[in-house]
Structure 1
Amino acid sequence: MTYRLYYWDGLQGRGEFVRLALEEAGADYVEVTRGDEAAGLGTGAMMARLGSKDEAYPPFAPPFLQDGELIVSQTANILFYLGPKLGLAPRDEGLRYVANGLQLTIADMVTEAHDTHHPLAGNLYYEDQKDAAKVRASDFIDHRIPKFMRYFERVMKQNPASEDFLVGDALTYVDLSMFQLIDGLMYAFPRATKRFGTQYPKLAALHDRVIARPRIAAYLASDRRLPHNEACVFRHYPELDKTAR
């Protein structure tokens, strides 16, 4: 059955973490907001789902995934659901909870990356909080990126099954999400991440291995892969970027 992915058209955002898993698995899916409204798709279809007063347990916000009659919301929860179905979760059930914990930690860092350009309020424009954003971004570059990345680098080094992956002995959705996190940071903070490969060699190698995977490489070269932009989670504002200490 075809999966239906609901996320904002024109944005990678948090939906990209789900797209990467679907693309790597070669899964059959439809990006609802990028579809034809005449076929019951488009942004209006997503908004109708979000605003439904008849549906039990409506999602709060995108991304959310429809599989038959089931609606699964929240990025980490979607990936926890999809992982075993797509062959992108550890075979060991206990390690699936480890993977979910790592995914939630990635989600924490994504939120902090977003808050570098919206440190005061999500409803304010970036231009209304630029001074606060400079303070937040400086702290993020000097303290938060190293704290998170040192942790993830250590997780790879201490993985008893394989130092090539974050959890278990084969690629999982967590590895794909780590690629996206690193890719987003490199876009948003090119100066701060200039020495990423020497500072975090195992994570950098994982990033490059994901790019080289045939289905991911084909996806990244296609028009299905939306470009980074300044309406998204990871935004490049030169005034917020600086060389890491």
Structure 2
Amino acid sequence: MPATPLSGDAVEPYILYYWPTIQGRGEFVRLALEEAGVPYRDVGRLKSGMPQIEAVLDFRREPQPAFAPPVLRAGELLIGQAANILQFLGARHGLAPRSEKGRLLCNGLQLTIADIVAEAHDTHHPISVNSYYEEQKREAKARSKVFRAERMPKFLGYFEHVLASNPARGNFAVGAKLTYVDLSLFQLVEGLRYAFPKTMAQLEPELPRLAALCEAVRQRPNIAAYLKSKRRIPFNEEGIFRRYPELEK
């Protein structure tokens, strides 16, 4: 993991609690930690990881546990929900504006990203997360058709507009510097490219700023190194973004 010292008064590596075999919602947090160059332990990928994840979700061990991963431990703080974690990391490590207005804008955009991520998940699990994809394929196909035709263009078009309307110089979502929102937009686009390659190929000519942002994020030194490392879990059919060719027919 990165070995750059933490800023401020933090002296220990962050501890990230997330599932060991998928990118999922934890990847939005990983990207921020990697870009910031701060040390962290991705405990789910350790042999003793699952008991540790279960512990932070257990009312018997934590008085106010998180509902589900990702969870970040920062000293005595135990922070749940990806958007909440990113708001914390953004303020601490220069991945969010200093102004209240800018931070609120970042948080609102991140919550909007969370909305489309949830809808992307529901394309393959539209009925129940407790049932296998194969048990709801007919419903998944119907849900995916609407998602590809209506929801993807609406969300991605909105983010393209956000980039175009930013008054600051550069091609960032908020202000003149990269924020955690830009990292999350990169992950969103990469996930949709994996899950729905044909649809994205059709949409991307209308999304030049979003495509340019993703390429700029990919080339940032810390992110480029991370993407080439074993720490980056490949997309697969266990996570949020899944490639089922029948869902693009």
Compute the TM-score of the two structures, normalised by the length of structure 2: 0.93
Q: 2:94 aligns with which of 87, 94, 98?
A: 87
Inter-partner Cα distance in structure 2 for 1:193 and 1:55: 42
Deviation at 1:163, TM superposition (A): 5.0
Q: What residue is the counterpart of 1:120 in the other structure?
A: 127
The one-letter code matched in structure 2 to 1:9 is P
**Aligned counterpart, 1:51:** 58
What secondary structure does 2:79 align onto? strand
Moved over 2 A (4+): none
**Cα offset, 1:197, TM superposition:** 3.3
Query: After superposition, what is the alpha-carbon deviation per residue over 1:140-195, rounded to whole angstroms, capped at 9, x for unaligned?
Result: 00000000011111111111113500111100000000000000000000111113
Partners in 1 of 2:204 and 2:157 — Cα distance? 12
Q: Which residue of 2 aligns with 1:12?
A: 23
RMSD over aligned Cα atoms: 1.0
Please give the secondary structure, in 2, of the residue aligned with 1:66: strand
Instruction: Output one character per residue of 1:14-54: Cα deviation in whole Å (capped at 9) or x when no partner.
Output: 000000000001011000111242xxxx1111112212414
Alignment of 1:31 with 2:38, yes or no, is no
8 Å Cα contact 2:55-2:62 kept in structure 1: no
Identify which of 234, 241, 244 aligns with 1:227.
234
Give, in whole Å, the separation in 1 of the partners of 2:13 and 2:67: 22
Aligned to 1:62: 69
* Contact 1:4–1:65, Cα closer than 8 Å, also in 2: yes
Is 1:107 equivalent to 2:95 in the alignment?
no
Equivalents in 2 of 1:97, 1:116: separation in Å?
Answer: 29
The AA in structure 1 aligned to 2:185 is M
Matching of residues 66-215 of structure 1 within 5 Å: 66-162=73-169, 164-215=171-222
Corresponding residue of 2:7: none
Q: State the identity %.
A: 56
Q: CA deviation at 1:91?
A: 2.2
**Distance in 1 separating the partners of 2:223 and 2:188:** 15
Gaps of 5+ in 2: 1-11
Amino acid at match of 2:95: L
Work out whether residues 156 and 163 of structure 1, in 8 Å CA contact, stay in contact via their aligned partners in 2: no
Distance in 2 (alpha carbons) for counterparts of 1:81 and 1:197:
32
Structure 1 residue 196, shift from structure 2 partner: 3.8
Q: Deviations over 1:205-232 (max 9, x none)?
A: 0000000101100000000000000010
The 8 Å contact of residues 7 and 15 in structure 1, kept in 2 or not, is answered as yes
Mean Cα deviation higher: 22-31 or 187-196: 187-196
Aligned residue pairs, count: 238
